[in-house]
Amino acid sequence: MSALEPPTLLLRRVRPYGEGDPVDVLVRDGLVAAIGPDAGADLPGEAEIHDLGGAVLLPGFVDLHTHLREPGREDTETVASGSAAAARGGYTAVFAMANTQPPQDNQTVTDSVWRIGRSVGLCDIHPVGAVTVGLKGEQLTEMGQMASGEAGVRIFSDDGMCVYDPLVMRRALEYSAGLGVLIAQHAEEPRLTKGAVAHEGPTAARLGLTGWPRSAEESIVARDAILARDAGARVHICHASTTGTVELLKWAKAQGISITAEVTPHHLLLDDTRLETYDGVYRVNPPLREAHDTLALRDALVSGVIDCVATDHAPHAAQEKCCEFAAARPGMLGLETALPIVAALLVESGEMTWRDLARVMSARPAEIAGLTDQGRPIAVGEPANLAAVEPDSPWTVVGEELASLSANTPYEGMTFAARVVGTVYRGRMTHRDGEVLA
């Protein structure tokens, strides 16, 4: 067996989608080769056997929104460390946002990130291309070049910054429709968020923090839905965070507008009362909102108004987070805690099945990105990108123990019942019980 050929794997005692009795799954040549009690018959001697003890088997997760910080801030995350975090989180494909230093606004950078991802080999790393040069919101990038390069860039975003100028956004959407690529918008009207560090509401008022009103997000969501309609383009809304955004998405989808949206685990779980301690770990864009927003976001994910979960994994160095609240960089880690949070909020509560969770964490994000070999059903002949989850294996989050080079998790000390215990990427086990396998 050459180093390039994936080994034959037998996953013993797994429950696809958490349904029915445990079965065995045979993985050969990177594909699911057999499922059932006899899947392991005629196993070659060199096969790897992993007894997963009845774990739920899901398609590997796909993250449309990750920050990997390479190039430029390799002290906080690299493609390699972020890939390890992804593997531990059950992810087999992640989209690496363009706000690196230098930004991913040209083919040289997007192809280089792509190649590093390939050589690390723990999951598919898809660089996102910037919409505008330097993420400045002024001049469109050469999207076509990035799309036709080695990386085959299919999502473009200035995330971290909003494409705020309506004329630039209109042109970007028109151009993207012609190229068959997707624009993902960080919806934040900058004129409404000058100096803002927290959600505008009673908590920020009491704590003396400058507020980021919901209207800063919602006005851009409404505008971009209309621009996408008129351009005949698709648009994707990053990290939806408000009740009003949910209403606008509902409206836009009812009009037949090609709009999709993601929500982060932290906007589903946490609200702005966390800011009481002034701990910079809770600073994030868009900010943690109020309890009714978290409930509306959960309902929207269950009903499909919000299409998928994306982590917005945003590593930052300790000195950038452990400082006065307003000086802390916005962003929090997400890859290694996404599954346990979504499982706790929506599966353990009975609002979703594991199959529903597979839709919002794997199938739907893969569809939105146009990936054909990710987010696939667990079936014979399909690519073996898989995540094994123990639903009731409580663990406590410790930032320093995460694979990420940064430790800015808002879940420090929190205990979750569900745990990712194994990840299979292109037919290879990339992670087992917390250990990342090269």
Chain-centre distance for alpha carbon 348: 21
Residue of 316, 334, 408, 309 lying closest to 86 (CA atoms): 334
Q: How far is the CB of 328 from ligand NCD (least distance, A)?
A: 10
Contacts with Zn ion, residue ranges (CB under 5 A): 159, 186, 238
Rounded to a whole number of angstroms, the minimum distance from the CB of residue 116 to ligand NCD is: 18
**DSSP class per residue in 208-240:** T--EE-HHHHHHHHHHHHHHHHHHT--EEESS-
Q: Check if 279 is active-site.
A: no
75-104 mask for ligand NCD (x: CB under 6 A)? ------------------------x-----
Tell me the β-bridge partners of 395.
Answer: 416
- 68 belongs to an annotated ligand binding site: yes
State which residue, 220 or 389, has the beta carbon closest to ligand NCD.
Answer: 220
- Picked from ligand NCD, Zn ion, none, the partner binding residue 331 (CB below 5 to 8 A depending on kind) is ligand NCD
List binders of ligand NCD among 172-201 (CB under 6 A).
Answer: 186
Instruction: Write down the catalytic residue from 271, 272, 307, 312.
Output: 312
Using CB under 6 A, pick the residue from 76, 285, 294, 430 that binds ligand NCD: 285
- Provide the minimum distance between the beta carbon of 285 and Zn ion in the complex, in angstroms, as a whole number: 6
CA distances from 49 to 42, 45, 389, 423 (A): 13, 10, 17, 14
CB-based contact 413:372 (threshold 8 Å): no
Contact flags string 220-259 toward ligand NCD, x per CB under 6 A:
----------------------------------------
Q: If DSSP codes are grouped into helix, strand and coil, which group holds residue 348?
A: coil
- Nearest 5 degrees, angle CA 311-CA 315-CA 320? 135
Half-sphere exposure of 186 (CA within 13 A, CB side): 24
Select from 56, 6, 68 the least CA-distant residue to 427. 6
Q: Rule CB under 6 A: is residue 331 a binding residue for ligand NCD?
A: yes
The yes or no reply on residue 404 touching ligand NCD (CB under 6 A) is no
- 376 near ligand NCD, rule: CB under 6 A: no
Distance CA 178, CA 173 (A): 9
DSSP state of 369: H
Nearer to ligand NCD, 16 or 334 (CB): 334
Q: Using the rule CB under 6 A, which residue among 15, 28, 67, 266 binds ligand NCD?
A: 67
167: number of Cβ within 10 Å: 8
We find the least distance from the C-beta atom of residue 232 to ligand NCD, in angstroms, to be 27
330 annotated ligand-binding residue:
yes
Interface residue list for ligand NCD (CB under 6 A): 67, 99, 159-160, 186, 284-285, 312, 314, 330-331
Which residues are designated catalytic? Answer: 312
